[in-house]
């Protein structure tokens, strides 16, 4: 239950996320929870995570344990890092192994978007990595966000941050698993 969006336009990459957390029928926004962030920053990398509210804690903790974060400048480098992360999820963070029998691989049980100076990337729970030319979204509100961003992306008056904001605001309006306020980070692209 979340919406994470990433946009690249005019030499800027943007990652934005809603801040709503849901516990059963209880909704808690960043207006009430100090640490409602779904975003983890590591050097020049900004990760937006969907899935369990524990995911940002686990990723932040694991990234601190790495001596030197490799340059995440392409899908293969990101895939390599995520193989190591998945191994740690199982060994160090007690990832539950209850995969669907039809899944070809074990699931990491989280999806994320990464924005860094090298672009916009997404990693699925099965560790498939994609690089995006314009924008992407994930989470329960992603369909709304994708439609909204597609509708406005080519407007030359709108920046990457404005497009990402539109995506999050539309998702928060129509998806009951997403809510404002939002967080937004800009990254200059190489």
* Helix, strand, or coil (residue 50): strand
Backbone angles phi, psi at 156, to 5 degrees: -65, -15
- Give the single-character DSSP code of 48: E
Using an 8 Å Cβ cutoff, are 185 and 120 in contact? no
pTM of the full predicted structure? 0.91
| 24 class by beta-carbon count within 10 Å (0-12 exposed, 13-18 middle, 19+ buried) | exposed
Residue 125 burial (CB count, 10 A): 18
* 190 residues of the chain, pLDDT tens digit each: 899 999 999 999 999 999 998 888 898 888 888 988 999 999 999 999 998 888 899 899 999 999 899 999 999 999 999 888 877 766 775 566 665 666 666 666 688 999 999 999 999 877 889 999 999 999 999 999 999 999 999 999 999 999 999 999 999 999 999 999 999 999 999 9
Do the Cβ atoms of 113 and 15 come closer than 8 Å? yes
CA R_g for the chain: 16
Question: What token pair was written down for 10?
Answer: 């005019």
Cα separation of the two ends of the chain? 32
Q: What is the DSSP letter of 88?
A: H
């Amino acid at each position: 239950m979340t919406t994470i969006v990433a946009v690249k336009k005019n030499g800027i990459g943007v990652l934005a996320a809603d801040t709503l957390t849901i516990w059963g029928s209880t909704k808690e926004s960043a207006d009430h929870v100090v640490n409602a962030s779904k975003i983890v920053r590591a050097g020049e990398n900004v990760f937006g995570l969907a899935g369990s509210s524990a995911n940002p804690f686990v990723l932040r903790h694991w990234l601190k344990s790495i001596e030197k974060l490799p340059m995440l400048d392409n899908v293969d480098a990101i895939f390599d890092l995520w193989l190591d992360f998945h191994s740690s999820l199982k060994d160090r963070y007690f990832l539950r192994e209850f995969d669907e029998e039809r899944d070809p691989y074990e699931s990491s049980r989280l999806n994320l978007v990464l924005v860094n100076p090298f672009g916009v990337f997404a990693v699925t729970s099965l560790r498939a990595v994609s690089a995006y030319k314009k924008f992407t979204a994930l989470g329960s509100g992603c369909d709304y966000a994708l439609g909204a961003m597609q509708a406005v992306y080519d407007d030359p008056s709108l920046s990457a941050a404005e497009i990402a904001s539109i995506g999050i605001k539309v998702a928060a309006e129509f998806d009951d698993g997403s809510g404002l306020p939002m967080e937004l980070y800009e990254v200059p692209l190489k």
